[in-house]
Amino acid sequence: MPDLRVEPRWRRLIGRLLADRSAVLGGAILLLLLVCAVAAPLIAPYDPLAIAPMARLRPPSPQHWFGTDEVGRDLFSRIVYGTRYFLLICAVAASISASIGTLLGLLAGAGSALVDGVIMRLIDVLLAFPYILMVLVVVAILGPSLWTGMAAVGIAGIPGYARLIRSAVLGVKREDYVDGARVLGASETEILFGTVLPNVLSPLIVYLSYATPLAALLASALSFAGLGAQPPIPEWGAMLVNARTYLFSAWWAVTAPGAALFVAIFGLNVLGNGLRDVLDPQG
């Protein structure tokens, strides 16, 4: 007899992800970042904050693989510990944007015309400000710091998520299975979070994979401008601003954090391409 068992959906998705080169490459880079963040004390040969004035601006060598910075700190150790801040920025900024934006989008798409109008007018007001200007306003109000930068980037990303989810909800709520759930006696809250939300997760995940590296890049730009992470935190954007004076005399001091930021952003972007191909093949 033929095998009539249906393969679980999650297993099919994993198989398609493993067959996609972009997803595999992006996933490998993300896994490398996670390993560096978790095992930083085991991987880094030096204390990332330890100052050694006699070893300042030394080029890459067997003792210091990426060289040292302007005060003698080992750049390889600082890059490894910097993965923690990069992933923290991604997680916090994306959590703020996705959670608030998704909730507003759900309420706007599934609520009454009045609720939809009020929420979308609020979103329009936020969109009236340029993205970077809104971030700078939040930082100016709360003061420069790593956490302020993450909060500012997260708040500035809310409108994009809200508009995406609202659009997806407007399409999903017309489906027959939503009417079926209502006929079976499900409350509007149960329909919203139990039926509608699971069916808009695919576009949300795809958008999240694209918006997260942009948020991390903007947070690093804030650190580069002195409005984000403050020294001596080994955050890659802050490391770049400290090393820019030595661009021509000590190229490794700029190359190490710049290359780390490039590889991390590149990995998240190609992972987003893979997720788009798997979860939204018609997008």
User: Which residue has tokens 């942009």?
Assistant: 214
Q: Is residue 5's pLDDT more than 70?
A: no
Average pLDDT over residues 151-164: 89
Q: pLDDT value at position 283? A: 47
pLDDT band with cut points at 50, 70 and 90 for residue 35: very high
Q: Is residue 196's pLDDT more than 90?
A: no
Q: Is residue 199's pLDDT more than 70?
A: yes
Cβ density class 64-103: b for 16+ within 10 Å, e for less: bebbbbebbbbbbbbbbbbbbbbbbbbebbbebbbebbbb
Q: Is residue 135's pLDDT more than 90?
A: no
Q: For the segment 260-283, what is each residue's pLDDT rounded down to a tens digit?
A: 999 999 998 888 888 877 776 554
Average pLDDT over residues 30-54: 91
pLDDT top residue among 136 and 208: 208
Q: How far is CA 24 from CA 52, 70, 227, 279, 280, in A?
A: 40, 37, 35, 15, 17
Q: pLDDT value at position 282? A: 52
CB 149 within 8 A of CB 222: yes
pTM of the model: 0.85
Q: pLDDT value at position 9? A: 63
Non-local (6+) Cβ contacts of 122 within 8 A are 104
pLDDT band with cut points at 50, 70 and 90 for residue 6: very low
Which two tokens mark 216?
A: 């991390």
CB 218 within 8 A of CB 135: yes
226 sits in the region (left: phi over 0; alpha: psi -120 to 50; else beta) called left
The mean predicted confidence, pLDDT, of the chain is 84
d(C-alpha 257, C-alpha 70), whole Å: 14
Q: pLDDT value at position 1? A: 44
Q: pLDDT value at position 269? A: 87
Q: Which helix (H) or strand (E) holds 190?
A: helix 188-191
Which two tokens mark 238?
A: 């802050």
The domains located in the chain, with CATH, are 63-279 (1.10.3720.10)
